[in-house]
Structure 1
Amino acid sequence: MKNELDSKFVLRVFEKIRQHGEKQGDKYVLNGVTAFTDLDGYTLFIEDATVKLQFGFHNQYNFDYQSQAQFESFEKKLRQIDRET
């Protein structure tokens, strides 16, 4: 996920969070990871307490985090969700 974000992976994890997570308003939470969309549904957001991923139309994406360790922890959580659910 560092240089090239696998769009299929992101979409798969997002859907697993929606299917298996706890609904909290317009958001879904699973294993400390929150997933939601903007109003039109074209932009997906996946985040935990320290990292935010914005994934949008034409596979454009943006990560927001303070340290590489935070990013690696976030990536590990996403991979774990993908494997376990």
Structure 2
Amino acid sequence: MKNEIDIHRALKVFNKVTQYGEKRMAEDDKTKKNVFGNDYYLCGISAQTDHDGYTIVLSDAQVSLTVFFHNKYQFEYPSNDALDNFLRRFNDVENYQAA
């Protein structure tokens, strides 16, 4: 499975989600993927960051992309179809126009 991504694109998507997305507070439910605190949601993509901003997570219902310091990253996904759907959501965020 090929899982390469342009990190600069991922960072731009992260910035757009946090700038224009809906902010949601962290929940106490331990089954949630949110490990950092606040989530931002836009076009089906969730964006989170740790307290110092060195690690970010972009995710949807099935896929998670974690970007670490020095532009290293890790995908978690169940299938190539899920990954393709996640990457299509990147396009939705990139094309999003604030009202």
Give a deviation string over 1:2-25, Cα, whole Å, max 9, x none: 454212101110010011100002
What is the percentage of aligned positions where both structures have the same residue? 40
Q: TM (normalized to structure 2)?
A: 0.79
Q: What is the number of equivalent residue pairs in this alignment?
A: 84
Structure of larger gyration radius? 2
Secondary structure (helix, strand or coil) at the match of 2:41 reads: strand
Paired with 1:24 and 1:50, the residues of 2 have a C-alpha distance of 19
Unmatched segments (≥5 aa) in structure 2: 26-37
Paired with 1:5 and 1:67, the residues of 2 have a C-alpha distance of 16
Q: Which has the higher helix share?
A: 1
Please tell me whether residue 22 in structure 1 is matched to residue 22 in structure 2: yes
Paired with 1:33 and 1:82, the residues of 2 have a C-alpha distance of 11
Partner residue of 1:68? 80
Unmatched segments (≥5 aa) in structure 1: none
How large is the RMSD of aligned CA atoms in angstroms?
1.2
